[in-house]
Structure 1
């Protein structure tokens, strides 16, 4: 199983507004990733954010091939891609009006085009295309949950057809900030409504799914409450992962301290923490085992670290990446020792 690092922590929550830190360039993120090493092991690749300033979604074929060359020259592969579905990029809300939903589908087409170029280049041989509802917050969704989930499902169905035509699969990211995907139960209902498991599945992130347990944006679906015991935690964790694991086709290793965090437009989401954060709520290796059971049967060939919205000083510290890489190795080795097969 290959070990990847995400590029979007250099962008998400960064910007030029007052109080925001500046973005970190793609080149810098690639260099930090390529430099990490633990006992001779390095990151095998990256998962890639198809957003400016890292990437122009409308870049020419030649420009994209140059990016692929730059990644490959560092000894890295490309795995999963994040489609530019958010308002203000190419896309718009999957539960919006007809025009907004067409923009969402246009963004999926853009991601499939770029995936095809990377595949043809040879830098990409596995991974999925990640999507979400592109509807920040749940207030609008709550005005008519059934109708709005039906809209999202209809948009996702069309997106999945586009992906299938390009030989790609879509993974819907489970995160409390995305309308209709903001709890484990709502996420499961959406996946069932789409009902295209060969083409559209779930992307599990350890940090975000921890807040699924706590029911942060959906108290009615909470599986845990403050003051829980270790036994209560793992019983609840098994309940959640048993429901969502069959849908899981992409997996993010991460840590969470139980807090909700946000920056810029990306607000009220699970707080990603350093792998060795003393306030971390998760035994990363043990929790990963729940998601990775029989991972290969679901087409998972790599796992990715997500340090979304880390401070720049943390991201630019080489020790950060060596610690993360060691954690990723531990997750992979535990997966192998459990009788699974590495690729």
Structure 2
């Protein structure tokens, strides 16, 4: 049956992540990403909003209040709400590694502060009424973390605790993005350990992405935490999927619909992460609708009001086709029809 909630959002960062000027896949402007999102329609249903990447060239984290209000006006002109925001915590932007030295950690916290400021302006404007601020450890790769896993997890957790205090002071919640390329967050067990080490579930939770968490099951960067292997039966797969989601679902406050073909992919500065696939990719490993249900059980009680599509590092030739977005929207509607609420 049809449901009014959760709201259906499209992400703006597929126009930026893994894109490089001077290649056949340069960054796609915010205007164009909004246009493509607004153009999607399936049986009269359209996207309700967007999730927003606080990185150049879409957004200058140092933008003035007036510049940010102009962006909010632009988004609202398409009939969209803003949901979750991605804080510019990565090295080379405003932020730096959460497990680095004191100066790196300070930069990380500054990035969270800037994201909270932008959230406040969007909230006051009226274009944003729900969603979280997403963070990660901002430590690409796991080799340095593996030198001392216990202490490095404690360092990340200490930084996250300070970030959560900043968010709480601004009336925001943080969601830590589970993805195999982020140190200390690269397996389902390590992610759970980190969340428990922070121990602030009212302010800092988990952001689950179907594509990335599929790689959690396979233990790509943490073989000791693998729950399934290639060729296992469907019965074993879903028993493992239930084990993982039962552990992480209580922490899940932000959710991405996505597809994965079981491989690892990278482009530009964003390397060796779970490969996102088109919603209808014949090589996709996931029953998107069924797997979404494991994460969305009890979602309303955890404050989730929207879900977002994530499909990073698709070639621009695919992103520029309107039918790509219609296919994505159709799958999002299926997820809401199966697991939504009113």
Common fold: TM-score over 0.5: yes
Residues 284-340 of structure 1 show CA distances to partners (whole Å, capped at 9, x for unaligned) of: 00000000001000000000000111110111100000000000000001013xxxx
The 5 Å alignment of 1:2-17 reads 2-16=7-21
For the residues of structure 1 that align with 2:320 and 2:142, how far apart are their CA atoms?
Answer: 33
Determine the structure 2 residue equivalent to 1:48: 52
Asked if 1:257 is matched to 2:257, the reply is no
* Separation (CA, whole Å) in 2 of partners of 1:206 and 1:25: 26
Whole-Å Cα distance in 1 between the matches of residues 336 and 25 of structure 2? 33
Q: What SS does the corresponding residue of 2:109 show, helix, strand or coil?
A: helix
> Is 1:293 the counterpart of 2:307 in the alignment?
no
Superposed CA offset, 1:150-202 (max 9, x none): 00000000000000000000000000000000000000000000000000000
Distance in 2, Cα, partners of 1:226 & 1:267 = 23
Give 1:23's aligned residue. 27
Give the equivalent residue in structure 2 for 1:101: 105
Quick check: 1:174–1:208 contact (8 Å CA) kept in 2? yes
Instruction: Give the 3-state SS of the residue equivalent to 2:262 in structure 1.
Output: strand
**C-alpha distance in structure 1 between counterparts of 2:248 and 2:310, whole Å:** 19
1:128 equivalent among 132, 137, 140: 132
How far 1:20 moved relative to its partner? 6.0
Corresponding position of 2:117: 113
Equivalent in the alignment of 1:87: 91
CA deviations on 1:236-274 (whole Å, 9 max, x unpaired) are 000000000000000000000001000011000000000
* Distance in 1 between residues matched to 2:25 and 2:308, nearest whole Å: 24
Is structure 2 residue 73 aligned with structure 1 residue 69? yes
Match in the other structure for 2:63: 59
- Which runs of 5 or more structure 2 residues have no equivalent in the other structure? 1-5
Q: Which runs of 5+ in 1 are unaligned?
A: none
8 Å Cα contact 1:13-1:266 kept in structure 2: yes
**Aligned-pair distance for 1:10?**
0.1
TM-score (norm 1): 0.97
d(CA) in 2 for partners of 1:20, 1:226: 33
CA RMSD in angstroms comes to 0.7
Q: How many residues align?
A: 337
Check whether the contact 1:20–1:263 (CA below 8 A) recurs between aligned residues.
no
1:194 corresponds, among 198, 201, 204, to 198
Q: d(CA) in 2 for partners of 1:122 and 1:226?
A: 47
Offset at 1:226?
Answer: 1.3
Deviation at 1:212, TM superposition (A): 0.1
Q: Answer yes or no: is the 8 Å Cα contact 1:65–1:117 preserved in 2.
A: yes
Q: What residue number does 1:156 align with?
A: 160
- 1:203-230 CA deviation, whole Å, 9 max, x = no partner? 0000000000000000000000111111
Length-normalised TM-score, structure 2: 0.98
Q: Secondary structure at the match of 1:110?
A: helix
Alignment of 1:220-239 (within 5 A): 220-239=224-243
